[in-house]
Structure 1
């Protein structure tokens, strides 16, 4: 397998974890990094032994030194950067959520198809060996009919109101950042839900801090999910079936172990001993797809990504959370500050 040359846009926390795991990739090299801050770019390049450091995203996007670009900046910048990569003919692995809404995502996947460029949302959890094992167990009928999923992703976010997680201008809130994981898990097994309910706590900066999501399917399955920026939780996932259940150990989205428990309480546990957090597996998948000449991954396809963001759009609509420049699907005008205020007035019972 030839060494695929990668570039990274962004030097924040997620870029660091990704770069740390990159040394475990089967066939790839980190050639370049870009940050709008020269010091950050240089430091990052030095830390991970990366040859090229750019102070401008577009210099990296247009560089002949890289074939694939990993985008690791806040959600609101994804759309413009992915678009620029596609137009420059560069393959893209873009952090989740791929964009802030379905309209943007659809436009980018259409553009990628038109330009025949590989694009994938970086749903790294999908490629974790534990998740692969769970998919196999469910497909083989090991727990009979899978009928419900419970999953959480909670952690304590920084309290600085300007932090990207709390900043509405940056696409902040629990749902897009971490709620996407439990929703992804439910849709991996059941597909797009037919019913969506959500109870959310909207904080002082007008983004969702905590939510409990109930998804339902006409064929009879349910998923009970939660995401929080203000609580601690074991962050386990349980898949319940007619013959037993599967528990994915803490923290389920980057787990190294899982167990299957039969109706008579016999337990079988599996542990995978992989290094790092497991970001190398999504890189291996991108490299494999490129070698096979694919423009999307069959394991996390454009359709999978679109169905995921469509559900997140519905959940946000349910709590009246819109980002600047977005149109309320029920309106034909953009929200300005006053509209946002009105919206939160209606949802004041969610306020704390």
Structure 2
């Protein structure tokens, strides 16, 4: 695709996730990195140099006002997502915003309403849904290869040493493992069972400053039993299991899955591996680029309704801490 037809990306923030996203843009053929913005101009310039980005801005608004940007990728701490996305949409930019898209249902409803009014694309960056291994697992499920789903088990946790000033733990940044990591087990459960959660049982542990650092969730999703967990206290197995009455699918490191395995009882029936060279953010970026080229305001794989649902579920869980 010629350069002038490519979707031009602006990057908001220069943190770890923004770096990984930019690294993976090398694998995206319908988009290119056009600008980066940070609160500190030196950070923006250093980042721009590292990833071959033409423009570096001090302050996000300056980049939002650049007419040569089509879409911005927001990778700031959780509590800034709403304002950053709001400002970008108001400036006429499409938005891909890191998860969680906002920190309340109300914010998420307001943001999607604004995107629709502005006729601009908006999506929460649930990159997991776009990974080939997750797509393959869904195909096996849809083809009836595991029968009727009975259980979904998923967890995601890594030890994060307690520091009340770190992004992970800082209360003003909406810290805690549920919003940071727990959104992934919820998202994978939603992907394979579209029923609302009921009969919730939550076991949580709070860090000294009151944010959650360990959460276990038991729930029903229609006729499916969910066993989900997230933690800053310890490394969990970080696999997802979609278990049917005729077999099951195992997805190692499901949030960044590069493989999935199909079982019937104890027998391995199939194994898919994507053998990718990228981290995996490119699949989402490619899909967003295409959606914008097709003048869509949301993506069918991660629509606004799924973002609202995840916000509501996290609020329900938090009420049970």
Same structural fold, with TM-score higher than 0.5 when normalized by the shorter chain:
yes
Give the drift of 1:124: 0.5
Give the drift of 1:159: 2.8
Which residue, 293, 296, 316 being the options, matches 2:295?
293
Q: How many residues align?
A: 317
Give the drift of 1:65: 1.9
Question: Where does residue 71 of structure 2 map in the other structure?
Answer: 68
Question: Where does residue 148 of structure 1 map in the other structure?
Answer: 151
Distance in 2 between the 1:117 and 1:207 partners? 34
Secondary structure of 1:318's match? coil
TM-score calculated relative to the size of structure 1: 0.88
Runs of 4+ in 1 over 6 A off after TM superposition: none
Question: Where does residue 349 of structure 1 map in the other structure?
Answer: none
Deviation by residue 1:241-281 (Cα, 9 ceiling, x = unmatched): 011110002x1111211100013524311111112210001
Answer yes or no: is 1:132 the counterpart of 2:138: no
Distance in 2 between the 1:20 and 1:277 partners? 8
The root-mean-square deviation of aligned C-alpha atoms, in Å, is 1.1
Answer yes or no: is 1:113 the counterpart of 2:116: yes
Question: Where does residue 242 of structure 2 map in the other structure?
Answer: 239
Deviation by residue 1:268-309 (Cα, 9 ceiling, x = unmatched): 111111122100011111111111111000110000111111
Distance in 1 between the 2:116 and 2:76 partners? 24
Q: Where in structure 1 are there 5+ consecutive unaligned residues?
A: 320-352
Deviation by residue 1:33-60 (Cα, 9 ceiling, x = unmatched): 0010122111111110111111111001
Which residue, 14, 19, 37 being the options, matches 2:40?
37
Distance in 2 between the 1:252 and 1:34 partners? 31
TM-score calculated relative to the size of structure 2: 0.96
Deviation by residue 1:52-111 (Cα, 9 ceiling, x = unmatched): 111111001111121100000001001111111111110000000000011100011011
Q: Where in structure 2 are there 5+ consecutive unaligned residues?
A: none
Question: Where does residue 331 of structure 1 map in the other structure?
Answer: none
Secondary structure of 2:178's match? helix
Question: Where does residue 305 of structure 2 map in the other structure?
Answer: 303
Which residue, 181, 184, 196 being the options, matches 1:181?
184
Checking the alignment, whether the CA contact within 8 Å between 2:206 and 2:213 is kept in structure 1 is yes
Checking the alignment, whether the CA contact within 8 Å between 1:96 and 1:121 is kept in structure 2 is yes
Secondary structure of 2:241's match? strand
Distance in 1 between the 2:205 and 2:242 partners? 26
